[in-house]
């Protein structure tokens, strides 16, 4: 019998249900290796994995273990760190409340004050709460938009942004050094309650106040207060605060998808609770047709990402990509702030390196400095912190192609609550002009050119997937191409060398002479390589052809099978 499995089955700490789950699979060698062959890796985004028993699953023992590691980092930080405390939130997923409570039990057992929300809350409110309460750290139990079988453990530091690589490594080192049972301190429920402050709905008022401060043009909202808006939280944490924010802003015709307002970690009405997928909006689109709405807003289970579906000129609903929503918001925010005299002279926007190059053209039009950062919203949070420290720039907006947006500095993670409000305000602005959001996007293409951004995911199959990935990146670093798709190469950057003013990262960046970009970035957790192809042309068909030509030629160069 596997040594670790035997340890779990014989431990007095492990509960009966967990032991029964393990006994049921004890004869399945493949299953045991999957559960105990490794442990969930703790990184800058914390933990994420499939629910179940074992060191490579999400369960109360793995959550306690991680919290013990984080507690040790906090206790090493300084004398006042424990007193400042840690705020803990959670989403609607299976076991999320239980994991949040167990987190508080370990924190308080280590002498660290805990703040626990009374029920599920959006991830950005946890980031906000850290700053508002002057906590040393924050934790949100969520697996974002992953399927229902998953849960996770997001960790933030005192600035409200996710942990640095060095901090994450320190926590993981503690996890590896500590025994999952013997070295983890756990207080009794009574002790935990005595040392935990419960945050109720009154705290939401502070968060909502900051969200409402993101409004730029209240007159546009007032003029279109009857505009039909359809909203779905996909059974998650956006269910209460998004409709409340829209209502307080002045929108009077907001209809929530009733079937998807039901809080459930089973996500019963969708195959996946991911607002990137149009299929999840099926019920919402039917409701939009009944209500005469031209757009739909959907937030993922922890309400940090937002998806938008709009009606096109033919009356059909189309899903906007994260890049399309990002540039629509960027152009609207900069234009509206300029028109209202509220655009700082030193205004700056931030996007991830792999997000659309159209943002560059938009910022150039408004004379706004655009900064590129590595993938991960914590890098946008770092830029905000840098701007505040230097005073050289004033942050106005940041986004990632992965459907994440932030327009204020009250939080340091993407916020779907404020983004939903701004999407609605933007729709009202264009409706004043007799335009839909689809019309607005087309007008941007007419002004700036047709930008098309394609994300490709290549899986390295087999037990040697990691070696295949390494070999691919080595080849790309060794052989310099002349160009791709008949377009010459202008420059290539290996971010492992800390190029482009960015931290070192396993990323290779190609820019062609026509401005097209190809970026290669291996996944840090899976045997996959992501390839981003960013192009600009005069029409959609031309852009689609260029993307395919670049993809095909790059795959041939890299030795990737189509």
Which residues lie across from 307 on neighbouring strands? 298
Q: Which of 96, 144, 187, 407 is catalytic?
A: 144
Helix pair 322-339, 416-432: axis angle to 10 deg: 70
- For residues 92 and 144, the answer to whether their CB atoms sit within 8 Å is no
Whose tokens are 């690589």? That residue is 165
Q: Which of 153, 159, 157, 168 is nearest to 91 (CA)?
A: 153
Q: How far apart are CA 139 and CA 162, in angstroms?
A: 9
Q: Give how far Cα 214 sits from Cα of 129, 218, 334, Å.
A: 17, 10, 13
Q: How far apart are CA 213 and CA 417, in angstroms?
A: 12
3-class SS letters over 339-392? HCCCCCCCEEEEEECCCCCHHHHHHHHHCCEEEEECCCHHHHHHHHHHHHHHCC
In what helix (H) or strand (E) does residue 36 lie, and over which residues does it extend? helix 29-36
Chain CA centroid to CA 527, Å: 20
Burial (CB < 10 A; 0-12, 13-18, 19+), residue 129, is buried
Sheet holding 528-537, edge to edge: 450-459, 528-537, 517-522, 508-512, 487-494, 483-484
Q: How far apart are CA 448 and CA 356, in angstroms?
A: 12
Q: How far apart are CA 447 and CA 288, in angstroms?
A: 30
Strand pairing class (317-319; 295-299):
unpaired
- For residues 517 and 350, the answer to whether their CB atoms sit within 8 Å is no
Q: How far apart are CA 108 and CA 195, in angstroms?
A: 6
Q: Give how far Cα 424 sits from Cα of 249, 263, 527, Å.
A: 10, 24, 39
- For residues 291 and 228, the answer to whether their CB atoms sit within 8 Å is yes
Does residue 272 carry a catalytic annotation?
no
Output helix, strand, coil percentages for the chain, rounded to the nearest 5. Answer: 45, 20, 35
The residues carrying an active-site annotation are 144
């Amino acid at each position: 019998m596997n040594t670790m499995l035997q340890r779990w089955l014989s431990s007095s700490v492990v509960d009966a249900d967990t032991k029964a789950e393990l006994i049921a699979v004890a004869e399945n060698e493949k299953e045991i290796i999957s559960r105990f062959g490794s442990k969930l890796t703790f990184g800058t985004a914390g933990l994420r994995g499939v629910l179940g028993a074992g060191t490579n699953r999400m369960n109360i023992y793995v959550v306690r273990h991680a919290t013990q590691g984080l507690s040790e980092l906090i206790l090493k930080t300084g004398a006042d760190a424990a007193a400042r405390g840690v705020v803990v939130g959670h989403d609607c997923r299976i076991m999320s409340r239980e994991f949040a409570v167990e987190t508080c039990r370990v924190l308080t057992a280590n002498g660290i004050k805990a703040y626990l929300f009374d029920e599920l809350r959006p991830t950005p409110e946890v980031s906000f709460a850290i700053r508002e309460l002057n906590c040393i750290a924050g934790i949100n139990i969520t697996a974002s938009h992953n399927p229902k079988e998953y849960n996770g453990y997001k960790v933030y530091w005192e600035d409200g942004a996710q942990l640095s690589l060095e901090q994450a490594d320190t926590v993981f080192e503690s996890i590896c050094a500590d025994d999952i049972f013997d070295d983890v301190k756990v207080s009794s429920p009574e002790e935990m309650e005595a040392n935990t402050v419960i945050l109720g709905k009154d705290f939401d008022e502070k968060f909502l106040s900051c969200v409402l401060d993101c409004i730029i043009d209240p007159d546009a909202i007032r003029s279109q207060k009857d505009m039909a808006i359809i909203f779905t939280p996909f059974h998650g944490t956006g269910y209460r605060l998004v409709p409340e924010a829209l209502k307080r802003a002045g929108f009077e015709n907001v209809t929530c998808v009733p079937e998807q307002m039901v809080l459930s970690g089973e996500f019963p009405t969708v195959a996946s609770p991911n607002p990137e997928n149009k299929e999840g909006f099926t019920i919402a689109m039917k409701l939009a047709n009944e209500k005469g709405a031209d757009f739909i807003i959907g937030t993922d289970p922890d309400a940090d990402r937002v998806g938008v579906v709009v009606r096109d000129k033919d009356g059909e609903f189309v899903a906007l990509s994260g890049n399309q929503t990002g540039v629509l918001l960027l152009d609207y925010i900069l234009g509206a702030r300029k028109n209202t005299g509220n655009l700082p002279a030193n205004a700056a926007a931030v996007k991830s390196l792999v997000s659309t190059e159209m943002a560059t053209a938009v910022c150039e039009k408004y004379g706004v400095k655009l900064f590129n950062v590595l993938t991960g919203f914590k890098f946008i949070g770092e830029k905000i912190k840098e701007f505040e420290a230097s005073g050289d720039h004033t942050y106005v907006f940041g986004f990632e192609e992965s459907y994440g947006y932030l327009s204020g500095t009250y939080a340091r993670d993407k916020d779907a609550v404020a983004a939903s409000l701004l999407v609605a305000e933007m729709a009202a602005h264009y409706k004043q002009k007799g335009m839909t959001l689809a019309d607005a996007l087309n007008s941007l293409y007419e002004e700036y050119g047709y930008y098309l951004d394609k994300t490709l995911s290549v899986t390295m199959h087999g037990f040697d997937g990691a070696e295949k990935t390494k070999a691919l990146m080595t080849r790309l670093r060794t052989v310099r191409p002349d160009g791709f798709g008949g377009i010459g190469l202008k420059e290539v950057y290996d971010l492992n060398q800390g190029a482009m003013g960015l931290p070192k990262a396993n990323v290779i960046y190609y820019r062609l002479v026509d401005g097209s970009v190809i970026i290669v970035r291996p996944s840090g957790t899976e045997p996959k390589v992501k390839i981003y192809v960013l192009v600009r042309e005069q029409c959609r068909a031309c852009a689609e052809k260029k993307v395919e030509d670049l993809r095909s030629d790059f795959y041939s160069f890299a030795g990737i099978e189509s």
